[in-house]
Structure 1
Amino acid sequence: MKDMAVADEVVLPPQPRSYEGVNWVGLQTLYLREVRRFWKVGMQTLAAPVVTALLYMLVFVVAVGGGRAVNGVAYGSFVAPGLIMMQVLSNAFANSSSSLLQAKFNGLMGDFMTPPLTPLEHLIGFGLGAATRGVFVGGVAAVAVIPFARLPMAAPWAIAFFGLGAALIMGFVGIMAGLWAEKFDHMAAVTNFVIMPMTFLSGTFYLIERLPEPFRSFSKYNPVFYLIDGFRYGFIGRHEGSLTAGVAMTLGLIAFTGFVCFRMFQTGYKIKT
């Protein structure tokens, strides 16, 4: 009779795990995946940006800048923070955007959506993974350009705030681009027509007051200008724009881009078919 009772019991399939609060295991796994993903191709993600930064230093500082000064500091010291920030911006954007686009292209979005992760946990995992790459590559680029430019640390808080803020913003922008894009041509369009113009019209290699109109006015509304200007202030102690506006804009963009990404994950924008 006991055996018959056991046989009559209903066998239920395994139930989804119920998480209260944050799924720390899943969040850590997603973050480590994003970090290990760029770490496995170190020659592409680390060596290539360093070579690019050194080439810029060679062309703009040695060949063009010579011994002249900009804003009261040596041209090399003026340019170097901008070159470092360029690596932070481009690598943070590339990490999250390429991760999502490749997952779409290979039909692997289910690997992200199936685990019990909330939209906020997806946002944090992809965003912090992208920021880690941006900050790490920026640090490596800084070490590479130090022999060619004197980089004092006038305001370490500004270096940390604007560096991390820029990495998070571009990581979130990369998430938006990766979810929106349906092919690599779309991503190339975002990079060539949005990211690159904003970067090169941001005062990386010059004072924006020397630009002709309408580029001078455009640069004053360019958020990348305030990121680079604040980051440069952290090193040389001089800034061209308003630091208060730069801090407010950075915090505002982190909140805005983060919220947009959260809603895209929450609604399943171009994820659920």
Structure 2
Amino acid sequence: MTGWRTLLYKECLRFWKVAVQTIAAPVLTAVLYLLIFGHVLEDRVLVFDRIGYTSFLIPGLVMMSVLQNAFANSSSSLIQSKITGNLVFLLVTPLSHWAWFGAYVGASIIRGLLVGLGVLGVTVWFGPPGFVGPLWVLVFALLGAAIMGTLGLIAGLWAEKFDQIAAFQNFLVMPMTFLAGVFYSVGSLPAFWQAVSHLNPFFYIVDGFRYGFFGVADVSPWVSLAVVGASFAVAAAVALRLLKTGYKLRA
């Protein structure tokens, strides 16, 4: 437990030392999204027949920020350690693969939630979304951050240079995040694109999270919880297997 806590502290300290870049910058980006899209569409779009667009947009932006920053934390940390060569100092420790997983994913969850709270704290003044089910908000925020922290860990293990991490993020994480219903209700799409969206696990994270604010969603929150929980279980199993075998960690 001491080793796990030490590694977790080190990972948290790593992003906290550059908080302007890792915390403040994503909050500013989310605010800019809100100002632009909210200003343009507030009077033109009404979601779920009663929710103003700005209020609808806020939970989506919060969750998008959580997901992207949780992924960035674990992936960037691991690839930096590989490239700079300081990963060897972790390899000589008696830390188990469970300790590695808990520390890297735990730090990713903390960073993701800090950014999400920052985005919510700044944007909530533009259109208070309400909190119908705060427990749903917390559960999906934690699971969403955990999934992305785990995917970031997998990407960091697989990648050997920053370009590969960028490709993973730009061609997988970013499209799946933007197409998860952050800026629109999936229920407003044609039937074909609704079916395609339902294949995206990120959609269930955003939809379940938004349910906690409004009490309405495109699918049942229990369905979303089942999909998100299963997705985390699969991602965690893959990451733990890679860590246990030392995939691309040991020469």
Q: State the match for 2:176 in structure 1.
A: 198
RMSD: 1.2
Q: State the match for 1:10 in structure 2.
A: none
**Corresponding letter in the other structure for 2:88:** G
- Alignment partner of 2:128: what SS? coil
Contact 2:157 2:247 in 1 (8 A): yes
> Does residue 98 of the first structure (1) align with residue 85 of the second (2)?
no
- Of 47, 53, 71, 2:30 maps to 53
Q: Once the 2 structures are TM-superposed, how far is the Cα of residue 65 of structure 1 from its aligned partner?
A: 2.6
Contact 1:229 1:239 in 2 (8 A): yes
Q: State the match for 1:164 in structure 2.
A: 142
> What percentage of aligned pairs have identical amino acids?
42
Contact 1:67 1:74 in 2 (8 A): no
What are the superposed Cα offsets for residues 133-160 of structure 1, whole Å, 9 maximum, x if unpaired?
0011101110010111112110011001
Unaligned runs of 5+ in 2: none
Unaligned runs of 5+ in 1: 1-23
- Of 227, 230, 233, 1:255 maps to 233
Contact 2:23 2:111 in 1 (8 A): no
Contact 1:77 1:236 in 2 (8 A): no
- Of 169, 174, 194, 2:152 maps to 174
Aligned residues: 250
Distance 1:115 1:149 in 2: 49
**Corresponding letter in the other structure for 1:65:** E
Q: State the match for 1:63 in structure 2.
A: 40
Structure index of larger Rg: 1
- Of 193, 218, 227, 1:215 maps to 193
Runs of 4+ in 1 over 6 A off after TM superposition: none
TM normalised by structure 2 equals 0.96
Q: Once the 2 structures are TM-superposed, how far is the Cα of residue 80 of structure 1 from its aligned partner?
A: 0.4
TM normalised by structure 1 equals 0.89
- Of 204, 212, 219, 1:241 maps to 219
Q: State the match for 1:41 in structure 2.
A: 18
Distance 1:263 1:68 in 2: 46
Q: Once the 2 structures are TM-superposed, how far is the Cα of residue 68 of structure 1 from its aligned partner?
A: 3.7
Distance 1:257 1:105 in 2: 24
Distance 2:208 2:46 in 1: 19
